[in-house]
Each structure stands twice: as C-alpha cells, then as structure tokens.
Amino acid sequence: MVPMCSGFLEPEFIAMAHRGGALLTANLGIENTLAAFANSVALGYEYLETDVHATADGHLVAFHDPNLARVTDVEGHIARLPLAAVREVRVGEREPIPTVEELFEAFPEARFNFDLKAPGAVEPLAKIVRRFQAEQRVCVGSFSQRRINRFRKLMPGVTTAVGPVGVAAMAVGNIRTCRPGGPGVFQIPVSHEVAGVRIKLLTKARVKAIHRAGYRVHVWTIDVRDDMHTLIDWGVDGIVTDRPDLLREVLQARGMWASSLGT
C-alpha cells in the first residue's frame, strides 16, 4: 500500500500544467509532447497533467483525442494503430507523440496526473507505474467511473480522482457517500454543461464541505488571472491550467510559488 504522503496529497498548493501547458506560447500546437512538458518543467512545474490512450498493440501514449487529426496531419484512431505507426506521426508537424514510459524517463522528478481516455489503458498504466515504482508520483482520473474503479482495484494505494460519481454526490450534498477505496482527490471544473444547461459545481462553501469530508480539491482548467485568484481565495488545493506562466505569476505575487524543479 502506498503511504498517504503521495505527492498529490501533500499540503503545499499544487500548480499543474494541463497537457504540458497547452496555451504557453512555446507550446502552441504541440500539447502533450516531451517538448511541451519540458517547457513547463523549465518554468518550475513539478506537476504535469496528461491524457493516456492505448495503441492497437497495447502501448500507452500521451495524447488527448482518440483520433490523431486535430493536432497532426494524419487521420487515424490510436486504438486501431500499432505503436510503430503512431511514432511516425508528428504533433504540430514537428514533435513525436511520447509513450508513458518516455515521460517517466524524461522527467524522473516530475509528478503526473493521468487521465485515462480509453478502457484499454487501465491495466497497462498500472503495470508501467509499478515498473517505474512511481506510485507516489501519480494521480489517476477519468470521465469514466468504471476505469477509475478498475485502476483502484489494481493499485489501491495510488491516489485517484473521486470520479464522476463522487462529483455528482458532492453536487447533491451527499459528499460523505464518496468512498474512493484509497487516497482520493476531487478534480473538478467550476461549472459543467449538462443537456445544454450550465451547472455550477464549485463554490466556496462546497470547497469547505469537500475539505471537511477529508478530500483535497484540484480545479480545471483555469486560464484567467482573476479566476485563479478567486479559487485560491476559496481555499482550493490546486489549479490545473493551460497557462502555466500565468499561474506561476499569480502564485509568485501571493508568495505561494514553491518548486523543486526548474526556476
């Protein structure tokens, strides 16, 4: 069992670079690549968020969409392609798509928040985390509660997001019914659209309620300075952003920026 000192449960505020900091000027068009992650690490970021898909032959790659087309010049579903074919593709016409193993190898001191984007990624991710002895360096979430639950059974001591069931329970006031079965955090947007209706999920009062229930709160994806200040004032424990440069400025101004990486 992984001890509760898992990096995502430490008391310090967590600043997390979403897809490596997708809107950082140097990262435009190259999200979720080694170059993008390196640019955020150079800013001092220790926590990196990324997405995980499985190739047809069972390898894991850091990529957001199921299809390659949005950020490459190739049309094709990752789940239908072998790793060798995916390796030939370039993000933004220049950067290769990294494997999860390459992330751990390239950034041995970083901590990774993995979003399981496909059912075939669950077991391979557990094996990779175990192989790299990275249990204290990861948090795993998904929009699929089934994937989160499967991962928890495989690695019950690894920190996971409570998932959509937990968020729904919080939204209707039943937060104490959330039982992640191990160390867990709420990773949640301020609001979410359901059937065309924008529903506010997070308020200052709900942050307090989540804390009373014993969970930490990470909010995504926040790219506006005033919103960052508001959420910090509410007492959230972390912010996920596409603008790591901006979040660093906000935290520095408040005397909250602390990093063991980069500057």
pTM above 0.85, yes or no: yes
The confidence score (pLDDT) of residue 54 equals 99
Residue 3 forms part of a structural domain? no
**142-150: which pairs have CB atoms within 8 A and are 24 or more residues apart?**
142/115, 142/116, 142/117, 143/115, 144/116, 144/119, 146/119, 147/116, 147/119, 147/121, 147/122, 148/116, 149/181, 150/122, 150/123
Question: Could you tell me if residue 161 is inside a domain?
Answer: yes
Which residues does the chain have with pLDDT short of 70? 1-6, 176-182, 259-263
Active-site hit among 53, 59, 64, 211: 64
DSSP class of 4: T
Is 202 a member of any domain?
yes
Domain that holds residue 44: 13-253
CA distance 244 to 41: 10
Task: Report yes or no on 124 lying in a domain.
Answer: yes
**pLDDT tens-digit profile of 103-144?**
999 999 999 999 999 999 999 999 999 999 999 999 999 999
Domain total for the chain? 1
pLDDT at 11: 84
What is the three-class DSSP state of 60? strand
CATH code where residue 235 lies: 3.20.20.190
pLDDT attached to residue 258:
82
The per-residue pLDDT for 183 is: 75
Task: Please give the mean pLDDT across all residues of the chain.
Answer: 93
Q: Is 64 a catalytic residue?
A: yes
In a domain, 263, yes or no: no
Please indicate, yes or no, if residue 5 is contained in any of the structural domains: no
> What does 174-239 look like in DSSP terms, one character per residue?
-GGG---SSSEEEEE-SEEEETTEEEE---HHHHHHHHHTT-EEEE-----HHHHHHHHHHT-SEE
Position of tokens 């972390």?
A: 238
Please count the CA atoms within 13 angstroms of the CA of 84 that sit on its side-chain side. 0
Q: Is residue 2 part of a domain?
A: no
Q: Tell me if residue 77 is catalytic.
A: no
